[in-house]
Amino acid sequence: MMKLPCMSSLLLVLSLVSVFVSGFGKRLPILSFDEGYSQLFGDDNLVLHRDGKSVHLSLNERTGSGFVSQDLYLHGYFSASIKLPADYTAGVVVAFYMSNGDIFEKNHDEIDFEFLGNIRGKDWRIQTNIYGNGSTSVGREERYNLWFDPADDFHQYSILWTDSQIIFYVDNIPIREFKRTAAMGGDFPFKPMSLYATIWDGSDWATNGGKYRVNYKYAPYVAEFSDLILHGCAVDPIEFLSKKCDATSQSLELSATNTITPSQRSKLDSFRRKHMTYAYCYDQTRYKVPPMECAINPKEAERLKKFDPVTFGGGRHHHGKRHHQSRSSRSESHII
């Protein structure tokens, strides 16, 4: 049986809550590449800039590329400023995510930011997804448009993972809150994970279900990463015992329920109302009954039903229209 990290891990979770609510998220330590990461794959398609404070990942006909944190973490705040490739990006997938699939092949956990490219003139789309204990058959995807062009400049994308909830942020605005429920059992991510960043060819599914594929005449596709933050409880990869935790965690007793302030809650609701285009909880073509963790918001249900009555209204799908789940193990298939 896997050993759980020490009590300081839980205290770290509480300190992270305090840090974020107090507005110190922007002041957390920024690491250089060598301080916290290692190359995952891609040979010279990974290039360091600014003395290792910026990382360029590229995709060409030969390979994609990626990097991974040197440590495993149980809970924490993980962030990067990312600038995506411009122009024609159909089929291109940029991912910023946590996973332990290399350790737990059949019951892995995963927390995903995925950026899905598009044809010229169409915007990048952002997808979040969560797996726990190998529950890949439930794909918990949500998709959104953004209020800016993510290829024009850097924007911050962050994951806050605690024992009770997961929150995704874009430029410090919460866009999704996923709470742990008793009914989920082990489907909530609960095992230590590494942080990954990759760019890869998702032609088979990423753009209009594979209709538009990567066009390598526009290669190389380059995704830029900077302001890298790994603020969590690192654990030993063999014993899963705590290696190091934030010292400030030991004196804090703040409840995780206070993570999202009223102001942030308003921004969360506004983002979802204006920009969310898909949510698995409301997909009546995939689920006759919503998965056990879903808390149905009638306003969200009505808006999505008007947006896509076939998917969210329970109507019949036309031939050729279907929803594609995201791919797990996105790095392994590109390692040669």
Distance CA 189, CA 79 (A): 18
Quote the Cα angle for 74-25-3, to 5°: 10
The per-residue b/e assignment along 106-137, b for 16 or more CB within 10 angstroms, e otherwise, is: eebbbbbbbbbbbeeeeebbbbbbbbbbbbbe
Task: Answer yes or no: 110 catalytic.
Answer: yes
The one-letter amino acid at 101? G
Q: Compute CA 262 distance to the chain's CA centroid, rounded to the nearest angstrom.
A: 24
Catalytic residue among 35, 61, 105, 114: 114
Closest of 122, 114, 169 to residue 142, by C-alpha: 114
Nearest CA-CA partner of 40 in 11, 16, 20, 70: 70
Q: In a 3-state reduction of DSSP, which class is residue 159?
A: strand
Choosing from 110, 142, 224, 293, the catalytic residue is 110
Choose among 316, 313, 293, 292: nearest CA to 302: 313
Peptide bond preceding 220 in cis form (omega within 30 of 0): yes
Query: Rounded to an integer, what distance in angstroms lies between the CA atom of residue 244 and that of residue 234?
Result: 6
Active-site positions read 110, 114
